[in-house]
Amino acid sequence: MKILKTIIREFIFSLTAIILKTNFRVTVKGLENIPSDSKVLIFANHASYLDVFLVGTALFHQLINIRWVISAANYRIKALQWFYWVYQVIVAEKGTVGRVIDTLNQKKWVMIFPEGDAKWVVQKDNEPPKKLGKGAAAIALSTGVTILPIGITGADRALAPISFKVDKRHPITVTIGKVFHFDAVAQEKMSSAMLEEKVTEIMVRVNDLVEGETHILPVMDDENDPFLDAPIIETTLECHPT
């Protein structure tokens, strides 16, 4: 059964890549920066519904081994359950940091959009502005694993996030940056300020790969972060060798 599931997923991945490349002008840069590490954290900007497919196409040979962190709100969309099965998702909620670390320790790659849906979901009346969560930084600091930044340019013009207007002629560039990592930090030495600093650094590195003007979102308070555990880490960590 496991082999059959893998075959089905790989078929859908291949079909998706073909459809994407056939219908949009996609260029992938920095393929030489893809690491050979067994466990990797991937961070990218998020401005279009195409972004998951673009990252998946850029990292096609690693795709079956990638797990994707998504919001609890999106996971409740019943029409997309097939998609969540294919892409093997982890739902962002309390306890997610520990589950992601467990997944990394199983020698999997984990993909996170630190902005969530912040750049493109319509704001409701009286709703506070969207902000960066600190969970991504907590995982990166706790494990010290390899971090792979990816910048996506033009996807929001090729497929508009709100109107769904399609412009197949607009070029899309997926740029894979050079890997980096943070030295692992013990739980008791982490602070809210440290997490804010590191998640901001992550997004600076990602935005450096995006063509045109970008900006960094503010960071949310700990108590409002759906991704952040309390305490921050609840699992045994395998740290990056120093």
Residue 190's CATH number: 3.40.1130.10
Task: Name the amino acid, one letter, at 239.
Answer: C
pLDDT tens for 39-77 read 999 999 988 989 999 999 999 999 999 999 988 888 888
Instruction: Examine residue 157 and state whether it is found in any structural domain, yes or no.
Output: yes
Instruction: Examine residue 6 and state whether it is found in any structural domain, yes or no.
Output: yes
Q: Evaluate the omega torsion of the peptide bond into residue 161 and state whether it is cis, within 30 degrees of 0.
A: no
Instruction: Examine residue 239 and state whether it is found in any structural domain, yes or no.
Output: no
Instruction: Examine residue 99 and state whether it is found in any structural domain, yes or no.
Output: yes
Task: Name the residue range of residue 201's domain.
Answer: 2-119+132-213
Instruction: Examine residue 125 and state whether it is found in any structural domain, yes or no.
Output: no
Q: How many residues does the chain have?
A: 242
Average predicted confidence (pLDDT) for the chain: 86
214 three-state secondary structure: coil
239 three-state secondary structure: coil
pLDDT class of 224 with cuts at 50, 70, 90:
low
The model's pTM: 0.88
Instruction: Examine residue 231 and state whether it is found in any structural domain, yes or no.
Output: no
Q: Check if the beta carbon of residue 153 is closer than 8 Å to that of residue 211.
A: yes
Mean pLDDT of 197-224: 85
pLDDT tens for 13-25 read 999 999 999 999 9
Taking the C-alpha atoms of residue 45 and residue 1, their distance in angstroms, rounded to an integer, is 35
Instruction: Examine residue 59 and state whether it is found in any structural domain, yes or no.
Output: yes
CA dihedral of residues 229, 38, 174, 220 (deg, nearest 10): 10
Closest CA to 26 of 175, 212, 165, 214: 175
pLDDT class of 89 with cuts at 50, 70, 90:
very high
Instruction: Examine residue 236 and state whether it is found in any structural domain, yes or no.
Output: no
Number of domains in the chain: 1
